[in-house]
Amino acid sequence: MAVRVAVNGYGTIGKRVADAVAKQTDMTLVGVAKTRPSFEARLAVQSGYPLYVAGEGEVAAFEKAHLPTAGRVEDLLRQVDVVIDAAPDKVGRENAKLYAQAGVRAVFQGGEKSDVAEVSFNALANYDAAKGKRTVRVVSCNTTGLVRAAAALTSKWEVEHWEATIVRRGADPTETKKGPINGILPTFQLPSHHGHDVNTVFPQLHISTTAVVVPTTLMHVHVNHVRFARGPTDTAELLDTFRRTPRFHVFEPWEGVDGTPHVLEYARDRGLGRQDMMENALWEHGTRLDGRDATFFQAIHQESIVIPENIDAVRAMFGLAPDAAHSIAQTDRSLGIPPPAGAPA
Ligand code: NAD
């Protein structure tokens, strides 16, 4: 029996999650809920997704736009086993009351504080912790990027300390009222919240983060300095580990990828849909080991990196796969994410 899934909140994350759920053979997308009519609502209808009215939204507004709706979000919740909440930051916590009343399980996003759910989740790091849970929070885009890298490194070695600077995009491409437009804004929260958030998944990891916001909509870039207590012998071994870990993509020097514009051009050209890059993007020439100290850059496509993790979260909650490796492989196949080096064909 396929798990019946609702998506509540149909913006940047919600519409991608809905498309991803629709591609799964062990899940059924029962409907999506949206507060207001928009071109995205029209496209949802054109995709055949039953459309429900969310939050403070009004049925009349959808009728005026000639968009058929199947009811309110409460009607949708009565038909599903789990809802994936993709409402704006902090609204998920409000919505949690609805989900509890309806008796459905829920997946929340990283814009909510960690206590919104029983566990903060990343498929590579703590898949088993979500098994059987009623509420799970998929950590934010930056945290997902850091936690994936931490999962890759700590699976083989021991990290003594990790210092990361997060160069954050100022806004998503459609957030036309946000900035900065021409400036670099240091985040005067020292350390930034990202390291604490990594600790919701890896409580023992000694990590400290700082952040600056820059005028780009494309991606975040992390500048990582990792000191190992027990680590790789050389840069090649470090790179090999990233290449053999799912959801990493390592660009080679000859490819001419000099920054986030080319990373996303690569994503456009390979054509997985939209311009999504769901892997951590690293550079061979942006990764170096010097004694016990590793430095590496990674670029994170904020709009899409958490999409596979939402699918794995549902699979873990409902026991749809025996373990993380099977779930990740199944999700990645369905979404077209290439397998890691050395994976069985
Ligand atoms: P968004 O603003 O693009 O989309 C949110 C959608 O929810 C909008 O369509 C909005 O109209 C709708 N909405 C408003 N109130 C609602 C309600 N009461 N019930 C249901 N829907 C409601 O936001 P987003 O960027 O998709 O972010 C969603 C969540 O994902 C947040 O927690 C965010 O922190 C997290 N997240 C965002 C990104 C990113 O870069 N965009 C990355 C990772 C995680």
What string of pLDDT tens digits covers the 345 residues of the chain? 899 999 999 999 999 999 999 999 999 999 999 999 999 999 999 999 999 999 999 999 999 999 999 999 999 999 999 999 999 999 999 999 999 999 999 999 999 999 999 999 999 999 999 999 999 999 999 999 999 999 999 999 999 999 999 999 999 999 999 989 999 999 999 999 999 999 999 999 999 999 999 999 999 999 999 999 999 999 999 999 999 999 999 999 999 999 999 999 999 999 998 989 999 999 999 999 999 999 999 999 999 999 999 999 999 999 999 999 999 999 999 999 999 999 877
Report pTM. 0.97
**CA 201/CA 149 separation, integer angstroms:** 12
What angle (nearest 5°) sits at the alpha carbon of residue 187, between those of residues 183 and 193? Answer: 145
Single-letter code of the amino acid located at 13: I
Single-letter code of the amino acid located at 272: L
- State the distance from the centre of ligand 1 to the C-alpha of 18, rounded, in angstroms: 13
Mutate to test the pocket of ligand 1, among 13, 137, 217 (most ligand atoms within 8 A of CB): 13
- Residue 311, Cα to own-chain centre: how many angstroms? 10
Q: How many CA atoms lie within 13 A of 134 on its CB side?
A: 7
- State the distance from the centre of ligand 1 to the C-alpha of 175, rounded, in angstroms: 12
- State the distance from the centre of ligand 1 to the C-alpha of 11, rounded, in angstroms: 5
pLDDT tens, position by position, 210-261? 999 999 999 999 999 999 999 999 999 999 999 999 999 999 999 999 999 9
- Cα distances (angstroms) measured from residue 102 to each of 97, 99, 157, 215: 9, 5, 44, 42
Q: Are strands 135-138 and 105-108 parallel, antiparallel or unpaired?
A: parallel
pLDDT at residue 307 in the model: 98
Q: Whose CA is nearest to atom 1 of ligand 1?
A: 11
- State the distance from the centre of ligand 1 to the C-alpha of 85, rounded, in angstroms: 8
Q: Of all atoms in ligand 1, which is nearest to the CA of residue 94?
A: 18
Bond into 37 cis (ω within 30): no
**CA 246/CA 278 separation, integer angstroms:** 11
Where is 316: in which H helix or E strand?
Answer: helix 307-317
Mutate to test the pocket of ligand 1, among 67, 75, 76, 109 (most ligand atoms within 8 A of CB): 109
- State the distance from the centre of ligand 1 to the C-alpha of 234, rounded, in angstroms: 41
Q: Whose CA is nearest to atom 8 of ligand 1?
A: 11
pLDDT at residue 26 in the model: 98
Contacts 24+ apart (CB under 8 A), 252-260: 252/284, 252/285, 253/283, 253/284, 253/285, 257/283, 259/299, 260/216, 260/218, 260/219, 260/221, 260/299
Assigned token pair, 217: 């909509």
- State the distance from the centre of ligand 1 to the C-alpha of 205, rounded, in angstroms: 29
Question: Which residues sit with their C-beta closer than 6 Å to ligand 1?
Answer: 8-14, 33-36, 54-55, 86-89, 91-92, 95, 109-112, 140-141, 172, 302-303, 306
Q: Whose CA is nearest to atom 4 of ligand 1?
A: 11
Q: Residue 100 catalytic?
A: no
Q: Which of 41, 86, 141, 205 is catalytic?
A: 141
Residue 101 has a CB neighbour count (10 Å cut-off) of 10
| Spatial contact of 144 and 302, defined as CB atoms under 8 Å apart | no
**CA 30/CA 40 separation, integer angstroms:** 17
pLDDT at residue 343 in the model: 87
pLDDT at residue 344 in the model: 77
Q: Whose CA is nearest to atom 34 of ligand 1?
A: 111
